[in-house]
Amino acid sequence: MLFIFGLLKMAVPKKKTSKSKRDMRRSHDFNTPVNAIVCGNCGKPIVSHNVCKFCNFYNGRNIRAAETVGKV
């Protein structure tokens, strides 16, 4: 109501935001797609540079089995 009578004014940007500044602001807004690859051991789709969650293999080795052997 105060806006209608001109008693209270909204803050208004002085200049139009350029495409460059707008896009720089939005540079953090979107997720990048994960790099999915096929596991060399079980053939299921996995995220690259991560241990396969289906068979626990990474770089041709069973990582989880090696961890349990090392702890015992």
Least distance (Å) between residue 70 CB and Zn ion:
21
Q: Does 42 bind Zn ion (CB under 5 A)?
A: yes
**39 touching Zn ion, by CB under 5 A:** yes
**CA-based end-to-end distance of the chain:** 73
- Please identify, among the stretches 2-10, 26-34, 53-61, 62-70, the one whose residues bind Zn ion according to the rule CB under 5 A: 53-61
By the criterion CB under 5 A, which residues form the site for Zn ion? 39, 41-42, 52, 54-55
